[in-house]
Amino acid sequence: MGNLFAELARQATANARREVETYLREIPEFAFLGTDQRARDRTMEYSLWFRRRTIELAPDNSELNPDDLDYIASIGELRAAAGMSLDSRRRVLRVHTALMLREINEATDAERGGGVEELMRMMSWFAPQGERGIGAYRRGFVAVLRRRMPYVEQVALLARSLLTGDPMADELAPVLDLRLAGHWAVTVLRVPDRPAGDRDLESEIEALVKAHQVPVVWCPEAGSRAGELIAVTPCAGGDAGWRAAGGDAGWRAAGGGGDEPTADGDPGQPAADGGGGQPATDGDPGQPAADGGGGRPPADGDPGPPPAGPPSVPAAVADLVRDFADALGRPCAAGTVTAPRSELPDALERARRISKTAPLRRPSARLRPHTMPDLFVELAVAEVPFVDAWLHTVAQRLDSGPDLVVTLDAYYRHDMNRSAAATALNVHPRTLDYRLRRVRELTGIDPGSTSGVRTLSSAVTRRLSGAWGGGGT
């Protein structure tokens, strides 16, 4: 045994004791080690065993054998059976790995920088065998969860594992008979505070999980009955389309994936009476330019092949959003983002921001999740307080009505098609015209002008999102 390994052997007991003390000090769920001497001795025994086994195997680059891995798995089982949380399990693995690396560094320093070959041998062993040991620990941990945890809670644990980048997802997915894809759509459904009389959502979420077979987790908001339902839906592939969040604006505008249809047809087509908003001074705004670069699709509706890019948002996402909204029976808002598995934590943050910016909508067949291209203006506005405050003052001028916010919402959702908007509002087109004139009188902004589209559509979306209180249609 070389000098480095001899130094590690001399310090093994002290290092194992330091690990136990670190668990006690830094991980609240290990507080019992301060009062349960038997549990403390068992933890110490395992920590010391692992260090001695490392010193035995690393010099010859020998692998942990099946008995070693079974023992490590038994420790994972023991801690899961004691009720250790997923977060504490991650922290234990981080602390253990950090301390082992620190011990190697300290032993190297004690040898005054000598033993480079031994150090390289140790590090060559440590990475692959450490990964095998962590895998065994996870396997034992998951085995207990499978036996003790209800199916819906296992699915929620898989969702959390994916969203935090926890490798335990690889152990959980086969247990649940769910495949792990390369790309996923992360969807956050925002549920505002509900009345105290509303029923709890456990049974609805359970039905949703069983019907859609995707990882789903409910995250309640502390101190209220509000919360978020987060779903992680596998995508078909990286080049199946380009309706992905952050990448579909151009294709959809070119006719490749339009908004939901209106009651009387295509929302993009102007009404026969020319009520599709403000016509261009030089002709029909609905006609594409000669080179195909116009804002409307050609007559045959063919947008051409989508550009290569991120995977499309699966159709199953919209189905899940509608099913949950129907079960909820109250306004909610959804944001979705697609991303490779390695980027799911960031995708969750983006989807959450989109859902907070999206307008609250009542359940309907047309309800769908929003993506970044749908709300990029409002997302930017929310980050600039003085702009948001100014927009709020514009929205407040609409409060005298009648129903001006709802009217503008319908008007813009139907691409300023007067006939379709009036039908959606269940009013006569002349009533719609009166309301639009009223908006112009109160705000000094023509709803059909470029300025009106920019300003009033953003003000309406911000109001309906509940960002300024209230909201929902």
Give the model's pLDDT for residue 282. Answer: 41
Neighbours of 430 (CB within 10 A): 10
Domain count, the chain: 3
Segment 423-442 shows an average pLDDT of 95
Q: Are 189 and 201 in contact (CB under 8 A)?
A: no
Bridge partners for 340 per DSSP: 183
Which range is least confidently modeled, 3-12, 108-117, 321-330? 108-117
Which range is least confidently modeled, 176-180, 190-194, 196-200, 314-318? 196-200
Give the model's pLDDT for residue 440. Answer: 95
Tell me the CATH number at 194.
3.30.70.100
Q: Is residue 246 part of a domain?
A: no
Which range is least confidently modeled, 83-87, 328-332, 404-408? 83-87
Q: Are 142 and 171 in contact (CB under 8 A)?
A: yes
Q: Are residues 391 and 369 in the same domain?
A: no
Segment 426-450 shows an average pLDDT of 95
Q: 332 is in which domain, residue-wise?
A: 183-239+310-374
Q: Are residues 361 and 390 in the same domain?
A: no
Map residue 134 onto helix, strand or coil: helix
Q: Are residues 332 and 225 in the same domain?
A: yes
DSSP state letters, 170-202: HHHHHHHT-PPPSEEEEEEEEE----TTSPPSH
Task: Quick: pLDDT tens for 244-255.
Answer: 334 333 323 333
Q: Is residue 56 part of a domain?
A: yes
Q: Are residues 144 and 30 in the same domain?
A: yes
Tell me the CATH number at 401.
1.10.10.2840
What's the residue count for the chain?
473
Task: Report CA 137 to chain centroid distance, whole Å.
Answer: 27
Q: Are residues 193 and 110 in the same domain?
A: no
Q: Are residues 199 and 93 in the same domain?
A: no
Segment 390-402 shows an average pLDDT of 92
HEC readout, 217-277: EEEECCCCCCEEEEEEEECCCCCCCCCCCCCCHHHHHCCCCCCCCECCECCCCCCCCCCCC
Q: Are residues 89 and 208 in the same domain?
A: no
Give the model's pLDDT for residue 295. Answer: 41
Amino acid at 167: P
Q: Is residue 366 part of a domain?
A: yes
Q: Are residues 335 and 442 in the same domain?
A: no
Percent of the residues in the chain that have a pLDDT greater than 90, as a whole number = 53
Whether 457 has a pLDDT exceeding 60, the answer reads yes
Whether 241 has a pLDDT exceeding 60, the answer reads no
Neighbours of 154 (CB within 10 A): 20
Q: What's the pTM?
A: 0.68
Task: Report CA 176 to chain centroid distance, whole Å.
Answer: 20
Q: Are residues 393 and 358 in the same domain?
A: no
**Contacts with 183 (C-beta within 8 Å, 6 or more apart), sequence order:** 234, 235, 237, 238, 310, 311, 338, 339, 340, 341
